[in-house]
Amino acid sequence: MTQVNVAALVLAFAASSGAVAQPAEGRSEIPTAGASDTRAEVTSALPQSRLIGKTRLSVWGFQVYDARLWALADFKADKIAAQPFVLELTYLRSFDNQNIAARSIAEMRRSAPVSEPQAKAWTEQMMRVIPDVKAGDRITGIHRPGVGARFLVNGKTSGEIADVEFATLFFGIWLSPKTSAPKMRLELLAGTP
């Protein structure tokens, strides 16, 4: 079975069984971030930002991605929709963009109802800005309050989804209190007051 098929099978099983994805124990698995670790695209998108938190998503022993969140010093976890921030996912295995989009819609529906026409439109938009990924690829999402989300792949702009509701629900996959991975949320928000 190929890596893509194994990964898709793991995520499909997780989605269908109601299993909760948890970050791997211990932060030592994720490279320690210092000032020199901030990517140029983060500095460009959000000057004065700092690393708020980081974690690794593992599902039943399969490592999926490392996640890091940058925001301004006064970032408030309970006001996510009103604040700019940058969320980076570094994939540890390969996924096709259709699986990423489908899983994203399923997770977004944890926070709010999403109609079938809206899900279809958002799926098409995600597939436009998020390509198939392989291990080592980075997808960076920039939350733009009142505008939507801009995406970069491996540091290069891949597109924007100018929809405030989409951005709120999409970033809520990781940052909403209704996330399926509450431990991951806590790790990402670890540096907030």
For the stretch 98-131, pLDDT in tens is 999 999 999 999 999 999 999 999 999 999 999 9
Contact 21, 15 (CB under 8 A): no
9-15, Cβ contacts within 8 angstroms, sequence gap of 24 or more = 10/59, 10/60, 10/62, 10/64, 11/59, 11/64, 11/95, 11/99, 11/103, 13/60, 14/59, 14/60, 15/103, 15/106
What integer best gives the mean pLDDT of the chain?
84
Nearest to 45 by CA among 71, 79, 76: 71
Burial 152-175 (b: 16+ CB within 10 A, else e): bbeeeeeebbebeebbbbbbbbbb
Statement: residue 10 has pLDDT above 80: no
pLDDT category at 11 given cuts 50, 70, 90 is: very low
Out of 13-27, 62-76, 81-95, pick the least confident: 13-27
pLDDT at 59: 87
Dihedral angle, C-alpha 152, 191, 174, 95, nearest 10 ° = 50
- Separation in Å, CA 144 to CA 33, 45, 55, 177: 24, 10, 23, 20
CB 112 within 8 A of CB 169: yes
Cα distances from 49 to residues 26, 74, 159, in angstroms, run 24, 10, 22
Residue 39: pLDDT band (50, 70, 90) is confident
Give me the domains of the chain, ranges plus CATH numbers. Answer: 3-22+36-188 (3.50.70.10)
pTM, 2 dp: 0.82
